[in-house]
Amino acid sequence: PLEAVVFDVDGTLADTELEGHRLAFNAAFAELGLPFSWDVGTYRRLLAVTGGERRLRCYLSTAPEALAYGWSAEEVEDLAAELHRRKTAWFLEQGVQAVAARPGASRVLEGLRREGVALGVATTGSPEWVHPLLDRLFGKGAFTVVVTGREAPRRKPDPAAYCLALEQLGVPPSRAVAVEDTGPGVRAARAASLPVVVVAGAVTEPGVAQDADLALGGYGEPDQPAEVLHDPFEA
Ligand code: XBP
């Protein structure tokens, strides 16, 4: 029997990335007077590096426009940390209010809860914004367990966040399912021995659906089930 479902946050439960986190990173660049701005295409590519601070470090140490500054490794480290502090503050102040839940996500959570399925969250995003965002979109206490980047500092595709969520839920992976939207997330869940449902969204990479045990186009509507993108048992 299914005892628990563990959800990713960014892109899976909420549309946070393109018009949320991306704008927060850009605001942080502007606050420090840096002439960098991530457009949607650039940001999609940068999402391959998980964790906001790691993403910044990677960008600052590889993008030609950043290399032109000649920063040392230590300067890059400090700058990434400062930018990420500002990004987090901006997202908390502006992003949390502005981003929306994925259509149908609340209804699916309610349905699972009614069936007695425990709900968990496994994200490696920062707790500063994860908790207020989940509270605003789904209500306080909507999830039995919430693991963030503070409890699981090793970012996805490392399975740490999923392993910890399962441990805290007290449910073995064979009785749980992960819900994800991107490649690193799917790999993290798999590495924790969890079956994975992909609910494809705004930042889902091409081909990710094929790696899932089931891939859906969304959460569906009350009178319209979700579109099935990939179901290995149907193949
Ligand atoms: C999502 C991420 C996050 C967000 C930004 O990871 O990669 O970095 O883009 O959040 P996950 P922070 O799939 O593990 O939830 O800036 O707070 O890291």
Cβ–ligand 1 contact at 176 (below 6 Å):
no
| 3-state secondary structure (DSSP) of residue 176 | strand
Residue 18's pLDDT is what? Answer: 98
User: What domains can be seen in the chain, in order of their start residue?
Assistant: 4-15+99-230 (3.40.50.1000), 17-98 (1.10.150.240)
Position 174 pLDDT exceeds 90? yes
User: Which tens digits make up the pLDDT trace of 47-61?
Assistant: 999 999 999 999 999
User: Which tens digits make up the pLDDT trace of 59-76?
Assistant: 999 999 999 999 999 999
234 Cα: distance to centroid of ligand 1 (angstroms) = 33
Position 235 pLDDT exceeds 70? no
Helix (H) or strand (E) segment spanning residue 6: strand 4-7
> Which pair of tokens denotes residue 226?
């979700």
Position 202 pLDDT exceeds 70? yes
> Which pair of tokens denotes residue 213?
């045990």
User: Which tens digits make up the pLDDT trace of 87-144?
Assistant: 999 999 999 999 999 999 999 999 999 999 999 999 999 999 999 999 999 999 999 9
Cβ–ligand 1 contact at 8 (below 6 Å):
yes
Instruction: Fill in the DSSP letter of residue 7.
Output: E
Residue 232's pLDDT is what? Answer: 84
Question: Please, what sign has the CA dihedral across residues 89, 93, 94, 97?
Answer: positive
- Residue 229: pLDDT band with limits 50, 70, 90: very high
> Which pair of tokens denotes residue 231?
């179901």
Give CA separation, 149 vs 9, 143, 154, 219, in Å.
12, 16, 8, 26
Question: Please, what sign has the CA dihedral across residues 80, 201, 186, 148?
Answer: positive
pTM for this model (two decimals): 0.96
Q: What is the spatial distance between Cα 156 and Cα 162, in angstroms, rounded to a whole number?
A: 9
Mean pLDDT of 5-34: 98
Q: Which residues contact 48 (CB under 8 A, 6 or more apart)?
A: 183, 184
Amino acid at 107: R
Position 79 pLDDT exceeds 90? yes
Q: Which of 123, 203, 204 to mutate to test the pocket of ligand 1 (most atoms within 8 A of CB)?
A: 123
Q: Do the Cβ atoms of 220 and 226 come closer than 8 Å?
A: yes
Q: What is the spatial distance between Cα 61 and Cα 67, in angstroms, rounded to a whole number?
A: 6
Residue 233's pLDDT is what? Answer: 80
Q: Which of 50, 88, 96 to mutate to test the pocket of ligand 1 (most atoms within 8 A of CB)?
A: 50
